[in-house]
Structure 1
Amino acid sequence: MTDSPRRAPRAGIHPDSSKSWLRRAWPIVRAHRILLISSLTLSFIGLVVQVQIPDLVRIALDRALVDRTDGLTGYVWLIAGLAVAQGVINFLARLYLLRTAYEMEYDLRNVIFTHLMRMSYAFYDRVQSGELISRATSDIRAVQMYLAFGPSILVQCTIAAIAFALMLSINAPLAVVAMLTMPVIAVLGVRMRRASFPVSWLIQARLAGVATVVDENIQGVRIVKAFAGEQRQVDLLAASADRVRWAYTEDAGVRSRWLPVMDNLPRLGLAMVLLVGGLMVLDGDATVGTIVAFNSYVLMLQPPFRMLGMIIMMGQRAAASAQRIYDILDTPADIVDPADPATPAPRGDVRFEDVRFAYPDGTVALQGLDLHVAPGETIALVGATGSGKSTVARLAARFYDTAGGRVLIDGVDVRDYPLTTLRDRVGIVPDEPFLFSMSLHDNIAFGHPTASRDQVVAAARAAGARGFIQELPAGYDTVVGERGYTLSGGQRQRVAIARALLVNPPVLILDDATSAIDVRVEHEIHEALRDLMRDRTTVVVAHRLATIGLADRVVLIENGRAVASGTHTDLLATEPRYARVLASEVTA
């Protein structure tokens, strides 16, 4: 796997949660201010050009057609030139605006994804993946749209002020008549904002619920099909989608009550202009060209008013989405690098001292575990299901922090290690190996991306994976399906073992890592592992006698404590609890 160059985010979200959501997002806007200001400036210039055209039409009508004191051709060419100039300016303004929007989205996505990568196992134990996917996609898009397009829409709305200024210069009384509806629109906008915010929040939350259902069913599609649960899951999604539909219907109700009025008020202004302006023309206080120009100006006011309603709705949606994003970003990572890290020489000494631990859901896993594994020693952890064996691996690599006691690697508390250093020293092969949708070479080299093909092949050979990989059409370049499901369970485990071995950690933990491998292949892997374990501290979570046979010493875990330790033969002869565990858990 090759690392492509990546630009770091130019800015992040302000950490002060007491600030408004916009002030917290301001650093990202400020980081891209040059592009944004360029876009807004060009947009404003385009508006200035646009409002000149009706005035030229007015002059052309009055001078060339009514008074016949001037030629028409010059005005036609001038208006056409302004139209072309406006088109070029608007093109550049739109280009810069879209670039700004995508740059902001890039920063937002990287900020939230970087934060998610720092979060511990405990965070993911309590937060649904669909929620995270929704916040990292649709919520980010809602915020990005407002941050980038909101200022642009506000600039577009300034056409009302520019047009009003020109109308005042042409005919002040008629200009006042044309703008009479503005205060009403402002009041309606505020009321619509208040009505739309709770609905916007509800929509985003319910979209996240749909994302959760979809994510779980895609990830668990094999289980759904195995138990013929397709229709039940379709019904579940339909129920979630129905809740989203209800929220969108409420949102449509808010829009339908307020937006038509806000859209049509400028037309009322147009009618008033035609009425009052017509009377003024009859009285000789205005010209036909003035009426035509004012008609164009009032029509220009319609899009800004429509966009005013749009920006209000966008703002409420963005505010709701921002709060959902900030909920994630404001959750501190509880597993972090120490302020004063220690990096002693790697020896492979592992010690648990009176370790107590319970999972976030309250499940107690360890209750005063004392365990020492000397450098180069191989031990097998044996115990009934739920006794705490796998938790030992998770605490050694500091996926969780202990509730009491200490875990020491080479005499140093794991909380005093930089996380990257610790996890380079403690390699884990889980009982449920996860493979990425990329080549087998890249999967094996995941922990050591610069490894050569020879190094990858050597690790695969040691894990017993070389044989089946060579039989694949593309060999090590074969791209496995999502989660590696194009491979068998045993093949995935062998790739996971190769991935851990390539890093060459001084401490290797095999969490029931050969459970899905047949006995013949397991024997081949064990033979290879014997050589690899010779100078390596190894902890094996064991359920098979063949796996236990790899160990120099067996430790019996019961109710989160180490209750017995010795060789397999000694424990079998002296410890009835060990014999009972083997009878129920271990298969020959």
Structure 2
Amino acid sequence: MASVTSRDVLARGFRVLGRAIKDEPRIFAFAVGGSVLFGGLVVGSAYVIGHIVGKIIVPAIEDGAVDNALLWLGALAVLAISVLRVVGIFGRRLGAGYMQFRLQARYRRLVTGRYLDLPLSWHHRHATGTLLSNANSDVEAAWFPIAPLPFAVGTLVMLLGAVGSLFLTDWVLALVGLATFAGLFLINVFYSRRMAPRQARAQLMRGEVSAIAHESFDGALVVKTMGREGQETDRFAGQARELRDALISVGRLRGLFDPLMETLPSLGTLAVLIVGTFRLRAGDISVTDLVSIAFLFTVLAFPVRAIGWVLAELPRSVAGWDRLQHVLTATGEMRYGTISPEKSDSPARLAFDGVDYAYPTGADTDDMAAAATQDEHGPTVLHDISLVVPEGRTVALVGPTGSGKSTIASLAVRLVDPATGTISIDGHDLPDLTAAALADNAALVAQIPFIFDDSVRANVALDRPGIDDDAIWAALRLAQADEFIARLPEGLDTMVGERGTSLSGGQRQRLTLARALAGRPRLLVLDDATSAVDPRVEAAILAALRGGEQPTSIMVVAYRRATIALADEVVYIEHGRVVAAGTHSELLASTPGYADLVTAYERAEAEREREHAYEDEGAVTA
């Protein structure tokens, strides 16, 4: 991504504006038409006022009498110009606002669509808060100059008309006008070059602050549990101070620039009055000419600022646009094949063959040098993984924290692709399947459930075709969620709140499990998806999946011994490698690491039960 500190920031900013005009030519033409109408009438009104003063007011003062017909004609001219100026203002503002908001909506959709197209490996390199900033504040920044752009274009037309009329009136006063307008342009060029790095820094810090805030809010439970409130507050405060300093730097420069832009047209008006007085005394111009030109400079003071507004926002626009392009031009989308096998009612067979995987590295940055390294990979976390989930069988993945179980689960449904090796369903390599075929055959229930701020029905169905209320209730029964859903005030129509705040942890897990089951997958991957569910309910869920009307092959990442014991086969993972595979009883007898791990949970549970019993006994004694 090119740096916004370069001297061509104006040229790059104008290219962004050109893109906006290309995207919305009709709306822009409508807005500019209103602005040109307004600008032409501003110039015209100056000469109307000049003629009223020179032809009506001055003769009335000299003669002591007023020509009523001319007075009414002048009043009607002023009224007509005012009405038409209102029409021009309405068209300009309506068109500019509509154009700006359409562009923002379009590019938010483009950015969001790009997020969905890019693979999970790309998302691993970018903080969620930064992605939210791209879709929100960066989109707004990129198109912020659109609001004053039609006004500025109309002002340029108005300035050309004003300069032409000045030369027709008096060439000396025209030179004063040219000097004023040239001064405005030079000030804007100087300002844009100085403002570019400040705006880029401020835009970057907005993303940083958003990222930290999102991390802290999303991990509020972990932060409170670990007593890290103070550290998180300090971390956020540090970034917020940097954002404050960046915005103050922007404000200081604007505080210097805005008064200059306000003052220069006024100085031009003063210069016209001084020079014009001498020209009037010399008989080179008339009172009408002097009043017209002085009034013209007076009314130009505000419209000319529209050019300054556009130029002032160009550095911010370029910074936002560059950050958007970082997303829109990102490469590496996951490509799918063309194989779409006919949907079968029989369970699927999943096979890993010699799979290695390493998480990608690369800084979450807008710098080109860093972005160029984003395809590099860190240390390999999975080594030569080979395993099979036979049709209709349940295979449990067991291993210490960080051994690679969740990575295997993500690979099984192709959220990420392996570095080497193959993964297949029913003999078809996953990259050869279409996206729809993969979604029809395999479903993942993640460790952390995500519930949308919508009804129970919408959370389970997700607008997928063919999933009616009967299918939803069948999925809820399999997930052992039908009873608590039936007790909700409005049943399937109950709104569950942001991230399912009205539900318990176990209820959220069962609801997301029902979401996966509603699609009738032939392969179900459970990544510790029932950890918050009571062990007896968990056993009932797995028993229903094994013996229900919906035949499914299951890969389950498990910790509880009761869950593991229900599996047909257990695969024990350590340090990203398959250490052993067999039944639960076989691994207990042959693999000490496995035995220690699966009994550790029971020991911890027993210890907690003894502590509770001791506390209860003490309470009774007291």
Would the alpha carbon gap of residues 572 and 230 (structure 1) be closer, same or farther in structure 2, given more than 3 Å must change?
closer
How far did residue 77 of structure 1 move?
Answer: 0.9
Q: Which segment drifts farther, 560-569 or 124-133?
A: 560-569
Would the alpha carbon gap of residues 136 and 306 (structure 1) be closer, same or farther in structure 2, given more than 3 Å must change?
same
Which residue is equivalent to 2:551? Answer: 535
1:558 aligns with 2:555: no
Task: Give the counterpart letter for 1:342 in structure 2.
Answer: I
How far did residue 390 of structure 1 move?
Answer: 2.0
1:52 aligns with 2:44: yes
- Asked whether the equivalents of residues 440 and 478 of structure 1 are also in contact (C-alpha less than 8 Å), the reply is yes
Question: Per-residue CA shift, 1:196-226, capped at 9, x if unaligned?
Answer: 1111101101111121222222222333444
- Asked whether the equivalents of residues 388 and 560 of structure 1 are also in contact (C-alpha less than 8 Å), the reply is yes
Instruction: Give the RMSD, CA atoms, in angstroms.
Output: 2.4
Matched ranges for 1:46-125 at <5 A: 46-67=38-59, 71-125=70-124
Q: Secondary structure at the match of 2:360?
A: coil
Q: Secondary structure at the match of 1:557?
A: strand
- Asked whether the equivalents of residues 349 and 425 of structure 2 are also in contact (C-alpha less than 8 Å), the reply is yes
How far did residue 241 of structure 1 move?
Answer: 2.1
Q: Secondary structure at the match of 1:356?
A: strand
Distance 1:541 1:586 in 2: 17
Would the alpha carbon gap of residues 307 and 76 (structure 1) be closer, same or farther in structure 2, given more than 3 Å must change?
same
Distance 2:349 2:267 in 1: 83
Q: Which segment drifts farther, 507-516 or 444-453?
A: 444-453
Would the alpha carbon gap of residues 302 and 276 (structure 1) be closer, same or farther in structure 2, given more than 3 Å must change?
same
Would the alpha carbon gap of residues 39 and 21 (structure 1) be closer, same or farther in structure 2, given more than 3 Å must change?
closer
How far did residue 151 of structure 1 move?
Answer: 4.4
Would the alpha carbon gap of residues 465 and 226 (structure 1) be closer, same or farther in structure 2, given more than 3 Å must change?
same
How far did residue 306 of structure 1 move?
Answer: 2.3
Distance 2:350 2:224 in 1: 44
1:404 aligns with 2:420: yes
Decide which of 399, 403, 407 is 1:391's aligned counterpart: 407
Task: Give the counterpart letter for 2:249 in structure 1.
Answer: E
- Asked whether the equivalents of residues 397 and 555 of structure 2 are also in contact (C-alpha less than 8 Å), the reply is yes
How far did residue 36 of structure 1 move?
Answer: 0.9
- Asked whether the equivalents of residues 149 and 306 of structure 2 are also in contact (C-alpha less than 8 Å), the reply is no
Matched ranges for 1:114-513 at <5 A: 114-147=113-146, 149-227=148-226, 229-338=228-337, 341-345=338-342, 346=344, 348-360=348-360, 362-446=378-462, 448=464, 451-513=467-529
How far did residue 35 of structure 1 move?
Answer: 1.3
- Asked whether the equivalents of residues 202 and 247 of structure 2 are also in contact (C-alpha less than 8 Å), the reply is yes
Would the alpha carbon gap of residues 148 and 181 (structure 1) be closer, same or farther in structure 2, given more than 3 Å must change?
closer
- Asked whether the equivalents of residues 543 and 586 of structure 1 are also in contact (C-alpha less than 8 Å), the reply is no
- Asked whether the equivalents of residues 192 and 311 of structure 2 are also in contact (C-alpha less than 8 Å), the reply is yes
Distance 2:234 2:576 in 1: 41
How far did residue 231 of structure 1 move?
Answer: 4.7
- Asked whether the equivalents of residues 21 and 323 of structure 1 are also in contact (C-alpha less than 8 Å), the reply is no
Question: Per-residue CA shift, 1:410-451, capped at 9, x if unaligned?
Answer: 112111122232122111112221111111221111273652
Q: Which segment drifts farther, 245-254 or 392-401?
A: 245-254
Distance 1:125 1:576 in 2: 34
- Asked whether the equivalents of residues 460 and 511 of structure 2 are also in contact (C-alpha less than 8 Å), the reply is yes
Would the alpha carbon gap of residues 203 and 412 (structure 1) be closer, same or farther in structure 2, given more than 3 Å must change?
same
Q: Secondary structure at the match of 1:252?
A: helix
Distance 2:288 2:55 in 1: 9
1:33 aligns with 2:33: no
How far did residue 398 of structure 1 move?
Answer: 0.9
- Asked whether the equivalents of residues 13 and 315 of structure 2 are also in contact (C-alpha less than 8 Å), the reply is no
How far did residue 297 of structure 1 move?
Answer: 0.7
Question: Per-residue CA shift, 1:507-527, capped at 9, x if unaligned?
Answer: 111122222111232233233
Distance 1:94 1:492 in 2: 47
- Asked whether the equivalents of residues 29 and 147 of structure 1 are also in contact (C-alpha less than 8 Å), the reply is no
Question: How many equivalent residue pairs?
Answer: 568
Q: Secondary structure at the match of 1:359?
A: strand
- Asked whether the equivalents of residues 350 and 408 of structure 1 are also in contact (C-alpha less than 8 Å), the reply is yes
Distance 1:22 1:415 in 2: 42
Question: Per-residue CA shift, 1:29-71, capped at 9, x if unaligned?
Answer: 3231011112112211221122111211211222223346872
User: TM-score, with normalisation over the residues of structure 1?
Assistant: 0.90
Distance 2:391 2:18 in 1: 52
Would the alpha carbon gap of residues 229 and 372 (structure 1) be closer, same or farther in structure 2, given more than 3 Å must change?
closer
How far did residue 366 of structure 1 move?
Answer: 1.6
Question: Per-residue CA shift, 1:182-209, capped at 9, x if unaligned?
Answer: 2232222222121111111011011111
How far did residue 22 of structure 1 move?
Answer: 5.5
Would the alpha carbon gap of residues 108 and 540 (structure 1) be closer, same or farther in structure 2, given more than 3 Å must change?
same
- Asked whether the equivalents of residues 561 and 599 of structure 2 are also in contact (C-alpha less than 8 Å), the reply is no
- Asked whether the equivalents of residues 561 and 602 of structure 2 are also in contact (C-alpha less than 8 Å), the reply is yes
- Asked whether the equivalents of residues 179 and 269 of structure 1 are also in contact (C-alpha less than 8 Å), the reply is no
Would the alpha carbon gap of residues 568 and 502 (structure 1) be closer, same or farther in structure 2, given more than 3 Å must change?
same
Would the alpha carbon gap of residues 304 and 414 (structure 1) be closer, same or farther in structure 2, given more than 3 Å must change?
same
How far did residue 27 of structure 1 move?
Answer: 5.2
How far did residue 373 of structure 1 move?
Answer: 2.1
User: TM-score, with normalisation over the residues of structure 2?
Assistant: 0.86
